[in-house]
Amino acid sequence: MTQPGYRHRIIIMDRSGSIANILTGQQGGLREFFGSEAQVPGRATYSLWDFDDEIRCVHSLAPLDAVTGYVIEPRGWTALHDAVGDAVTAEGEKLAALPEEARPEDVTVIIASDGEENKSVRRTGPEVARMLARQQDAYGWRVVYMGTNQDAFAEGAKLGARPDLTVNYANSNTGSLNSWAATSELLSRAPVAVACAGGGYGFSETERKLAESPRLD
């Protein structure tokens, strides 16, 4: 049996060059997301990966205070498939190596990207989708996809993200900030949940409208 109440967030952050256009909102939204997480009771750990045409594991299975100082530095292209595949593989192996009673009850992957895949060389979309489907179906992982400057639902679906946990946000600092606020709201309603449990769990219409708010910057 996994450890009740223990949640683990795997954040996969796009830092490609175009993020510079919404950097203020993305950085501020992530900061507010971490602030919201600090208010949720129970044990939590965080893994933070970022990517452009290079993929980095910045933190893995770290406490909240270790990740709050992360700074996004835009550069490069968008190797989305490589990044998600690398993160899911590495984090899944680390969790699998833990005794079952030490594993988190909930694992939530949060993918934030402002554009379509254009630079992966090692992994394909279908391969990554199969990986995420297995984690969702076999282990109850949740996969949240936050996308802008694209058809977020189409791009998220290519990775196996389910429509109810996909949000499209306005391509602006306001939209970026609000997308993180919407994700905080989503997770605050069910800090620990099983992705395949069904029951209509997902972004509410209010949360979607918040993320799609008109440009104010």
Query: For residue range 14-47, what is the model confidence (pLDDT) as tens digits?
Result: 999 999 999 999 999 999 999 999 999 999 999 9
Angle at 111 between CA 70 and CA 20, to 5 degrees: 55
pLDDT at 196: 47
Compute the average pLDDT of residues 133-151. Answer: 93
DSSP state, residue 213? P
**Strand blocks (E) in the chain:** 3-14, 44-51, 55-62, 104-113, 142-147, 166-168
DSSP state, residue 172? S
pTM of the model: 0.95
Task: Evaluate whether 94 touches 81 at the Cβ level (below 8 Å).
Answer: no
**In whole angstroms, what is the distance from residue 139 CA to residue 75 CA?**
34
User: What separation in angstroms does the CA of 129 have from each of 73, 81, 92, 108, 158?
Assistant: 27, 9, 15, 15, 6
- Write a three-state SS string for 7-69: EEEEEEEECCHHHHHHHHHHHHHHHHHHHHHHCCCCCEEEEEEEECCCEEEEEEEECHHHHCC
Structure tokens at 17: 């060059």
**In whole angstroms, what is the distance from residue 84 CA to residue 155 CA?**
13
pLDDT at 195: 47
pLDDT higher than threshold 90 for residue 216 = no
Query: For residue range 3-23, what is the model confidence (pLDDT) as tens digits?
Result: 999 999 999 999 999 999 999
Is the dihedral angle over the CA atoms 44, 49, 50, 52 positive or is it negative?
A: negative
